[in-house]
Chain A
Amino acid sequence: MATLKLLGIFGLLGAYFRFFVFGAGYGQVDLQAGLLLAFLAVSVWRNGPRGTVQAMWFILPFVLSLLLFGAIFQWAGLMGRTDWIHDSLIKALVFPNSFLAVKLGLEAITFRDIVHLPLGTGGKRNAIVLKAVMEKCTPLLHRYRFFMDLTPHFDGRRWHRFQRLCAVIVAAYISIYGQAEKTQALYDHRTRYLRKEK
């Protein structure tokens, strides 16, 4: 059952990317906008309005930078093209769509599903650690952004926003590394000493 569920999730993700990212649906703004609304609705249903806003807030800088570069290229008439705005608008829709599709897909996989997968002990261990670390570290990104937005250390410096973003990424990396080690040790301890109740 778990195998079928995972095949279904990855099948749907594959179909999404096949049609909406690398296929005929890519250039259709209306379709992509509708898809975004649908993903947002599912995200609100699964994670609540606050969780959805946090996720969108996280990718907002990337989306805005896509639109900004599109506008600059359009204004500069780069490579003689006049469709930069249209192109960047599509990317600004496809990017959050893909992010939400992968996020919702991976969130739908539970620890119980992983336990029931026909994987070896090592494979299950790695999958469980990966999921646990991702679950623990995603909320941390928002916390790190909060801390870095507050810190006055980069005020008045050139590229201060970029430096803050770098600090968030490095701090997240340190966290992921630490969490992976802790979770792995915890998993090993549990599997070694866990007693089955009769």
Chain B
Amino acid sequence: MDHNQYATMFELSAGTYPVDHAGLSFVLENPLQLPPRSCLYLSGDNGAGKSTFLEHVLIPSLRKKHSLLYLAQDMELQRNTIRTTLALLGHDVPDSLADMTVAWVRASGCRDIIILDEFDKYVSTEQLEALNLPGFDWVVQVSHLPRRRCAEFSHGFELFFDRQEGTDVNLRLTQLWPR
């Protein structure tokens, strides 16, 4: 199925999203609506709930309308599924994680959304470029490294995670570019 013909926006309704087992409740005051060719950065302190939000709120919501690729923080585990996926599809399985991931991204045929949760800690800048992120309509990134503007994307946003006392995490969206 070509997901793009049905989904033209990356959307998440405003509201409160509780994730009970993590003891967190994400409060999004305004809807998240990103046009195609957007880059979204998730930022906030360690333990603010960025990965939890990705896996339990954003990804389940996006999957209803989009095809997506997710490179998780626990790459030591995910590399085993990447390796077996490539092998089952009859592709060569490169030794290095960077090459393996590039092959996995290419084999997917997905150009809709890619989500990277601190993936840059596993690869160099050059290796990250080999993923051809500009080829995707939306890129979502969690990173603790200094942020660089992606000139190839027409819109850039930051979603800041502000963890309050108790379980609430307030989410604030800022447009980084164009201003």
Contact = CB atoms under 8 A, between A and B. Distances in A.
A156 B109 CA distance: 12
Interface residues of B, number: 26
Interface stretch (A9-17, A30-38, A107-115, A170-178): A170-178
Query: Contact size class for A?
Result: 20 to 34
Interface in B29-76: 55, 59, 63, 67-70, 72, 74
12 contacts: A146-B55, A147-B81, A148-B85, A152-B68, A152-B69, A153-B89, A153-B107, A163-B88, A166-B84, A166-B88, A170-B84, A174-B80
A168 interface: yes
B108 interface: yes
B81 A167 contact: yes
Closest 6 interchain pairs by CB? A171-B80, A170-B84, A147-B81, A167-B84, A171-B81, A152-B67
Given A50-B21, A143-B74, A156-B1, A151 B81 contact: yes
B20 to A, nearest CB: 9
A151 B77 contact: no
Contacts, number: 58
Contacts of A168: 81
A161 B55 CA distance: 21
Contacts of B110: 152
B55 to A, nearest CB: 8
Contacts of A50: 21
